[in-house]
Structure 1
Amino acid sequence: MPIAFIAVVAALLYLAAAGLQLTHMAQRRQRLSKPVMGMAVAALIGHALVTWDALNSGQGMAVGFYRALSLSFLAVNIACVAALLKRPLQNLLIGLFPLSALAMVVATLGPETAHARSSLSPGILLHIGSSILAYSILTLAAAQAALVAVQDRQLRQRNMHGIARSLPPLQLMESMLFELIWIGVIALTVAIGSGMIFMENMFAQHLVHKTVLSMVAWVVFSVLLWGRYQLGWRAQTAVRFTLAGFLFLILAFFGSKLVLELILGVE
């Protein structure tokens, strides 16, 4: 079966799952339905097959901007679907799945922007894996923070006719947000630590911006966790710190690839 066909089918499943969840949200259903979960799992399987085909090569691995973006969305979605077993995060699918569909189709049908291939040691794989996990979990945290911001604003305005009525209580939403941040910070700590140990020089010219921005993101999230438990930071303060930390993180992960591969045309 052509890999492009699998990508298109998986993208359609993503869109169908997001559309159905949007309908359920409008109906104020607070439980994840089996059809949404079924389509989500099927889309993830297709996405994983497409990603494996793109990355698996006997000549090593090449991950350009589009493939890296698609791989990141796959990791984010896996993390989100896994979290759904314990927490009601299903409304995040409405935004994540359409973006995932777009990223996967572009990565499959679009041009490859990186051609250099390399074999990776176990230590480097640990660094890459923990980095992807950290990015995935903190992406979910950023999406959750956006929902918290909207919900908090509507509650302050005593407007209970919008999105606030279809979401869990604000206290639970904040609790889920900080759970995601805790997991993300632990993964980011492992990523930075393993990079320091296993990479030759994380402050080399082509890596220094990634290292510095990742450390800044780590500091921002760590300060937020400290403020939460020492000063009782909540709602809008938590949202601002979460989105600021995520901005630094996304610049660290994709800023250089965007500039080098798509703007300057170099690897």
Structure 2
Amino acid sequence: MILSTPSTPLAHGLSVWSLAPSLLALAAYALAALPGAGAWARRALPLAWGLHGVAGLAHLFGIGLVMQGARFGFAPALSATAWMVLAVHAVESRFVPLPGVRRLLAALGGGTLALALLFPGEGGLYPASPWAPLHWMLGLASYGLVAAAVLHAAWLDRAERAMRLRMKKPGLRAEVTAPVSAPVPALPLLTLEKLTYRFVWAGFVVLSLALALGVWVTPVWHWDHKAVFSLLGWAVLAGLLAGRQAFGWRGRMATRGLYAGAVLLLLAYVGSRFVLEVLLHRPLVSAMVGGGA
């Protein structure tokens, strides 16, 4: 909903309705990232996540700005993806133990939110189809799920390396292979691997729905960078899942395939928008459906 009495726009197209919760969220993220902060840090992370969501909604819908329409540049897309990763963590931590990752997630949320404040993107973006917002939300959800899979895959790779190193040097202490700067959840390798590829499957299914809906609602299909990279990312994830089912792919080969698919998806929207907004300084078009995620 757009407020009927918009406030004066701030620099870079921000309003107090998005700036105030963003600054409060950054402060809460900073507290959550502090080492040894105890219970206050644990409470600060969900508070930061909530304020982050409020700021994202206010920015997306242009609340408090004169120019209406959706606003979704490359940095807000990254910020929303990080917000979804934190949401996944909040749900997942209720079922499986994930100690030692709070500071990493706080840094991820705070860093992407700060980037969104610096590069908020242009306003006045209107959907060319009533189904376009669903396409955008599905694309964003697929980004968040694949990002969660990448995070778990990185933990899995690090845990496997630590295990191999301990097998070569039995006297080596565990903390030497897993410093605080790169924590690994205390989960069995098979459990961590299962979680990783559950997120891959979920992200792939949602991405497939987003792409199918994008094809359906796009009046004229354009083979732009977003469409090409989205389809390439989808193909890599499809190949990874097919190879895992047919040939039992696992370990480094599988995680490298996941990383490659995630990079292609990142280039699809975030990369193309970064080039247009930051390098070429081209404004957003007034109507967009988009063939990719």
TM-score bracket relative to the smaller structure: 0.7 to 0.9
Letter in 2 for 1:66: A
Report 1:1-267 matches (<5 A).
3-19=18-34, 38-57=43-62, 59-89=68-98, 91-108=100-117, 110=118, 112-119=120-127, 121-158=129-166, 159=172, 160-161=174-175, 162-163=177-178, 167-202=186-221, 204=222, 208-267=224-283
Letter in 2 for 1:48: G
Counterparts of 1:245 and 1:265, CA distance in 2: 28
Deviation at 1:165, TM superposition (A): 7.8
Counterparts of 2:243 and 2:119, CA distance in 1: 45
Normalising by structure 1, report the TM-score. Answer: 0.84
CA-to-aligned-CA distance 1:164-203 (integer Å, 9 cap, x gap): 885211111111101110111111111111101112234x
Taking a change above 3 Å as real, the CA distance of residues 115 and 82 of structure 1, as seen in their structure-2 partners, is: same
| Aligned partners of 1:149 and 1:235 also within 8 Å | yes
Deviation at 1:7, TM superposition (A): 1.7
| Aligned partners of 1:6 and 1:46 also within 8 Å | yes
Letter in 2 for 1:38: R
RMSD: 2.6
Deviation at 1:257, TM superposition (A): 0.7
Normalising by structure 2, report the TM-score. Answer: 0.77
Unaligned runs of 5+ in 2: 1-15, 167-171, 284-293
Percent identical: 26
Unaligned runs of 5+ in 1: 25-32
Taking a change above 3 Å as real, the CA distance of residues 66 and 150 of structure 1, as seen in their structure-2 partners, is: same
Aligned length: 253
Letter in 2 for 1:236: R
Taking a change above 3 Å as real, the CA distance of residues 13 and 90 of structure 1, as seen in their structure-2 partners, is: farther
Taking a change above 3 Å as real, the CA distance of residues 141 and 36 of structure 1, as seen in their structure-2 partners, is: farther
Higher helix share: 1
Which residue is equivalent to 1:28? none
| Aligned partners of 2:158 and 2:184 also within 8 Å | no
CA-to-aligned-CA distance 1:198-237 (integer Å, 9 cap, x gap): 12234x25xx221121111112112211222221222212
CA-to-aligned-CA distance 1:32-59 (integer Å, 9 cap, x gap): x976653222111111111122122472
Letter in 2 for 1:12: A
Range with bigger deviation, 165-174 or 230-239: 165-174
Name which one, 1 or 2, has greater alpha-carbon Rg. 2
Counterparts of 1:165 and 1:75, CA distance in 2: 20
